[in-house]
Amino acid sequence: MNPTIRGFDHRRVSVADGVTLNVAVAGSGSPVVLLHGFPQTHLMWRHVAADLAADHTVICPDLRGYGDSDKPADPDGTAYAKRTMAADVVALARALGYDRFALAGHDRGALVAVRAGLDHPRAVTHLAALDVLPTLDMWEVMRGTMAAVGFHLYLMAQPPGLPEQLIGAAPDAFFGHFLDAWTRDPDALPADVRAAYLRASREAVPSIVADYRASAGIDVAHDRADRAAGNTLRMPVTVLQQDWGAALGYDAAALWRAWAPDLEHRTVTCGHFMAEESPAEVVKALRALLAR
């Protein structure tokens, strides 16, 4: 049996034709939606969500294609566009009675959150992104041998067939690599939580690959269109990330500021899974964002 976020109700909510999301909900007050990253589920927010639920309605879905949410086929390359996944989030909030909400995302969820902020500025009141760059910038800074850290981005960008076959042949080794390599505090991912992440990921190989494939195609096209149009995030934005800029030779804050004029950018010393490794720091940053 999968671990759950203690005190949260779990339900399934229809957000699009043929797509239902698994979501954990608790608390009362102004709504905050928390989007998980790779290779995880909504469970990654268990510490942060429990704290925020003291005075907010906290909504933690599994993204489409992940966890216990539906995993639609992707015949034309649009089912896992971040635009599509962002529309899921807006539809989810509305189904739960909220037209406006704060939004925080980690990793893949942060890319969905950014797209939601760009496409639905009237719905997203505040936005937090944890340990990513916007999609277009990510590809532009990934160069040279240091870019080997992102080998999975290139693997899953390949046409359908080979990535799914390779990953599907040893899913626990593949997904487990990132759970191990990206954390500085192994105790932050207890055995039952790690097992739940691996189980969910091995059951979602085609949809996870489709999510990443979209980020090498249609998501880049959408970002380029926004950059050309001068479209930016209009709400207060907080970004927390490791100091990848120092390692890869770019100014992360400057890249983010081009998208988010009202920006608070901070580097952290914990590993990638910061909501689990340093939840108090994440909660503090989110509460400060919500007060802006």
Query: CB atoms < 10 A from the CB of 99, how many?
Result: 10
Q: What is the 3-state secondary structure (H, E, C) of 152-207?
A: HHHHCCCCCCHHHHHHHHCHHHHHHHHHHHCCCCHHHCCHHHHHHHHHHHHCCHHH
Half-sphere exposure at residue 6, Cβ-oriented, CA atoms within 13 angstroms: 3
Widest pairwise Cα distance in the chain: 48
Q: Name the active-site residue from 42, 47, 152, 272.
A: 272
Q: Name the active-site residue from 68, 74, 107, 131.
A: 107
Residue 107 annotated among the catalytic residues of the structure = yes
Annotated active-site positions, please?
107, 272
